[in-house]
Structures are given as C-alpha cells and as structure tokens.
Structure 1
Amino acid sequence: MELWPGLWTLLLLLLLLPTLWFCSPSAKYFFKMAFYNGWILFLAVLAIPVCAVRGRNVENMKILRLMLLHIKYLYGIRVEVRGAHHFPPSQPYVVVSNHQSSLDLLGMMEVLPGRCVPIAKRELLWAGSAGLACWLAGVIFIDRKRTGDAISVMSEVAQTLLTQDVRVWVFPEGTRNHNGSMLPFKRGAFHLAVQAQVPIVPIVMSSYQDFYCKKERRFTSGRCQVRVLPPVPTEGLTPDDVPALADTVRHSMLTVFREISTDGRGGGDYLKKPGGVGEAQL
C-alpha cells in the first residue's frame, strides 16, 4: 500500500519526537514551554464562557486560579507557601513580587488572596484567549510606553482600591529577570500605595535555577518557596517618601530571596556562581 507524502511526514515526526524528548534536554525544554503556553491558552478558552456570565469582575479571578492550580503537578513543581498569615484580613493593599519568568504564574496562583488582580502590560490584552480571560477577571492593563496614560491608570486604581475593596499585584522590576537576582524597582507600585494610603505586602519567590533556566534551555522538576513578608504601612507617607520606601522594600525582599534560594529549596548553587546573587553583587 502506498502512503501519501503527508502521512510519511507524520510518521517520521511521531518517531522523532520521543527521540528528541529523551535525548535532547533543549528539545524537552521547548516542548515543555510550548505545552505550558498552549495549555494556558486552552484553559482560558474554557474559562471565558464561565467568566462572561458575570462580565468583567475581579471575582472571576477565582475561576482562573482554580483552573490553573493543577499545572504545577504536570511539571513536578512543588510550591511551598510561608507567611500567608501576613496578608491583612480585611482591607485593600498592594502586593509587590519579584519577577523571574512566566512560571511566576504558578506561585502567584498558589498564594493569590481574594479580590486581588495583577497589573499587567497592555500587550497581554491581545494574547488571544488568555488576554480576554484576564480582562474578564479584572486584570488592570497599563501601557508602560505612555507614561501619562500609566499615571492616569494608577490614579484610577488608587480610587478602586478604596471604593471596591480590591487588592493589586505588581511586579516592580517591570520585566522578567532571568539572572537570579532582582532588578531595580520601578516606583509606580509604591506611589500607588502611598496615594491610597494602603499597606504594601512584599512576596518573594525563590530562585528557579535548580529546575528552570532559559539560557541553558533546562526545565526539570523542583521546588519553589513563596514567602509572604509582613505588610509595610504607608499611612502618613508622601510622594517624597517613595524612593526610600521602594529601596527599603527591595532590600528586605532581596535579603529573603538570598535566604530561601540557598536553603536547598530553590537556586542553591547557582547563587554562588558568577552572575548569581553573590556577595560581590550586593
């Protein structure tokens, strides 16, 4: 029986993929990342009609969280949360967290408090089903390239925090940092907290370097510790206090990052390598 050329191609791919999976760590990395992103897009398709019943509402974030919590099991990643009792029980606040990769979503979903939504770059809004699901869940989008618009959005968020009892999650580094440290913090989140006179709750995720490294194309199973730090009050502070506030919070987060990334639960030896969070860099 003669096979069509397209069928031969399919058969070759079916034979080649398992070989690449077992023989090439780089291929395994790309397969895992492709499935990670594709699976999130698929879950978003399922979430959209459920969330659409309410329309755009922060309560829809519970639906997204419920649908995403299982992903860590697919990749053999154990997420350990400590300090969750530090979340203020019944008031608005601003969460600030370090930002390492798209895998931050796993730690975020593990610890995400009620009525809390991330502030994300506007480009995410156009990310297909994921963008629509995020919009329905109340995610706040800002255009970082247009400073005036970003400031305006932050002012509106400050009012929303107080009038609708909403919490927001901000990555103050502004972009993903794969280098095992923390970039300098942008001050928007701190201006927001001071303007609304609400606490800042720092959250630190340990280094992923023992199981994930984009540069080395490595993605295995491992552990990540998420540490919630005590809230930092902003009552009585003014915009003039923001630079010192941002520096103080970053210093405390970086100290904890070093601690939890060298206790055998994430990052460990990487932090001792050149380019890691070694003493020479601090």
Structure 2
Amino acid sequence: MELWPGAWTLLLLLFLLLLFLLPTLWFCSPSAKYFFKMAFYNGWILFLAVLAIPVCAVRGRNVENMKILRLMLLHIKYLYGIRVEVRGAHHFPPSQPYVVVSNHQSSLDLLGMMEVLPGRCVPIAKRELLWAGSAGLACWLAGVIFIDRKRTGDAISVMSEVAQTLLTQDVRVWVFPEGTRNHNGSMLPFKRGAFHLAVQAQVPIVPIVMSSYQDFYCKKERRFTSGRCQVRVLPPVPTEGLTPDDVPALADRVRHSMLTVFREISTDGRGGGDYLKKQTSGAALTSATWGVGERN
C-alpha cells in the first residue's frame, strides 16, 4: 500500500515540526529537559542491556557477568555531567562474603552503585524488574536476586537460600533496606530483611551512603542538571554472635550511622550540598523567625 503524495507532505511537515519543537522545548522548558533526560537514561540502559545479553549468555546465569554490566554502565555519568566521588573503598572486607546496605533515592543510584560495586556482588531487587525487557534479562544473567515483596513466605525462603549462597559461593549482596525510592532528601525507616540475612549468615554489614542528589536532580520539581555525588563506604559492622533478637537494634544502629554521614556529606559542599544547605538555612531561618522547633 503506497501513501498518496499529500500524506508524504504531511509526514515531512510533522518531521520538520519535531525538529523545531524538540530543541525549543529543550532550551526553554526545564520540565521538558527533565523528561527528555530521563527517557534517554532509561532507553539507553535498555539498549546497553541488549548489547550485554549475548556476551553474558556465554557464561549463562553467573555473578561474574555483573562485571560486564558494570563496564557497560560506567560511562553514563559522563553523558549527564555527574561527578561521582568515592571515599572509604578500603573498608570493603578483602576476602569474605558480606551484605552491603545503601540508601535509595532514585534510579540514578545505579551510577553510584556501578562506581563502587565490589567483585562478586549482586543486588537484591524486586521481582517486577525481571519483566523489564532487556534490562530484566541482563540482570538475571548477571545473577541479580529477585524477591516478591508481596509474598512474605517466598521472600523469607529466598533470603535463606541467599544466606547459603553467601557462604558457599563467596558472593556479596547489595540491599536497599528502605525498600523503595525516597525523594525527600532523607532516609526512610529500614526494613530488616538485609540484617536478618547478615545475622543468619554471620557475615559483616557494609553500609554505603550516597549523598543527596537535590542540587542536580529533583523528581518533584522536574529538575535534572549536572552535579556531584559523593559515595561513602563506612567501616563494616560485625554480626558474629548476634541472634535474630538483636536485629532491630542492629538495623537502628546502622541506619543512625548512615543518616549521620548522609547529612554530613550532603551539606559539605560536595554532592547535594548547595541545594540542601539552602533548604537547611531556610528552615533554620523560619524556626528562628516564628519560634517553631523541628519535630520528629
């Protein structure tokens, strides 16, 4: 079926309109720029996953494939002008399994994760990611552990298997204990699954803190510019001799130390500092002016 001449003219006009409209939106609308950047970010990851799948498939499902994904994703920070600074990498235990716990702000956490990801370390992710097209398949081939959070029994069973895998196959796992993305510039209460896992396997917990993205990224304000992010690896927290009864206090202690560091590195002029300092100073000014104290 051939298009009649008028249809070709219409398609050409639409194409020319897009050529004019897209650059105009890019330079004139910060919200449009935000959506364009996020669309490219997700689309580029899906495309890279397509390239990674045949390479990873040679080994089959194997945690060593995570090195391939990491290598292919490391350049993305340069595309967006995001400078990632890592401190404390020497705190990673050199030759034993452990559980990494990290704060979770947005899908951009992937950039910080790939920058500091230790060898033979895979994330624990929600099962929905498995169905995310090429990205889901690439993650499966890289040994990512999927958990159905809606089915508690299944999640507990998977965690028990993971505890055995940690010890028998020298694997490390990366967990976001907040359970979901948190865009409010702080940390949500921690779920205890990662801490139960570490105690069950009697392996250390390595906390990792990523500074606030608020000076260059904000979903609510539809803002996405260039900026800096600091990733801080904290000293490992031992779990030898701890029991399930100790898990609540352990989770609270680790969260408190991570939150303290998060506030420190997000207000020191590096990674989120400028925006968060303005917010903090503004809140302090309001409290001083109106006599309103901070409430927990």
Normalized against structure 2, the TM-score is what?
A: 0.89
Q: 1:59 to 1:267 in 2, by over 3 A?
A: same
Query: How far apart are residue 265 of structure 1 and its match?
Result: 1.1
**Residues 15-48 of structure 1: CA distance to partner in whole angstroms, max 9, x if unpaired?**
1000000000000000000000000000000000
**Residues 47-105 of structure 1: CA distance to partner in whole angstroms, max 9, x if unpaired?**
00000000000000000000000000000000000000000000000000000000000
How many residues in Structure 1 have an aligned counterpart in Structure 2? 277
**Residues 192-212 of structure 1: CA distance to partner in whole angstroms, max 9, x if unpaired?**
000000000000000000000
SS of 1:120 mapped into structure 2: strand
Distance 1:120 1:6 in 2: 51
**Residues 236-279 of structure 1: CA distance to partner in whole angstroms, max 9, x if unpaired?**
00000000000000000000000000011122254356xx9996
Partner of residue 287, structure 2: none
Q: 1:70 to 1:236 in 2, by over 3 A?
A: same
**Any conservation in 2 of the 1:271–1:277 contact (CA below 8 Å)?**
no
Distance 2:151 2:121 in 1: 25
Query: How far apart are residue 130 of structure 1 and its match?
Result: 0.0
**Any conservation in 2 of the 1:258–1:277 contact (CA below 8 Å)?**
no
Q: 1:207 to 1:13 in 2, by over 3 A?
A: farther
SS of 2:264 mapped into structure 1: helix
Normalized against structure 1, the TM-score is what?
A: 0.93
**Residues 101-129 of structure 1: CA distance to partner in whole angstroms, max 9, x if unpaired?**
00000000000000000000000000000
Seq. identity, %: 99
Q: 1:7 to 1:278 in 2, by over 3 A?
A: farther
Query: 1:1-282 maps to which residues of 2 (within 5 A)?
Result: 15-271=20-276
Deviates more, 1:135-144 or 1:258-267: 258-267
Quick check: which has more Rg, 1 or 2?
2
Distance 1:114 1:8 in 2: 54
Distance 1:259 1:198 in 2: 27
Q: 1:265 to 1:239 in 2, by over 3 A?
A: same
Q: 1:5 to 1:156 in 2, by over 3 A?
A: farther
Q: 1:132 to 1:13 in 2, by over 3 A?
A: farther
SS of 1:202 mapped into structure 2: strand
SS of 1:266 mapped into structure 2: coil
**Any conservation in 1 of the 2:205–2:237 contact (CA below 8 Å)?**
yes
SS of 2:21 mapped into structure 1: helix
**Any conservation in 1 of the 2:228–2:272 contact (CA below 8 Å)?**
no
**Any conservation in 1 of the 2:84–2:112 contact (CA below 8 Å)?**
yes
**Any conservation in 1 of the 2:215–2:276 contact (CA below 8 Å)?**
no
Q: 1:163 to 1:172 in 2, by over 3 A?
A: same
Deviates more, 1:14-23 or 1:212-221: 14-23
**Any conservation in 2 of the 1:272–1:278 contact (CA below 8 Å)?**
no
Query: How far apart are residue 2 of structure 1 and its match?
Result: 15
**Any conservation in 2 of the 1:208–1:267 contact (CA below 8 Å)?**
yes
Q: 1:43 to 1:197 in 2, by over 3 A?
A: same
Unaligned runs of 5+ residues in structure 1 are none
Deviating above 4 A after TM superposition, structure 1's stretches of 4 or more consecutive aligned residues are 1-14, 276-279
Distance 1:148 1:227 in 2: 34
Unaligned runs of 5+ residues in structure 2 are 15-19, 279-290
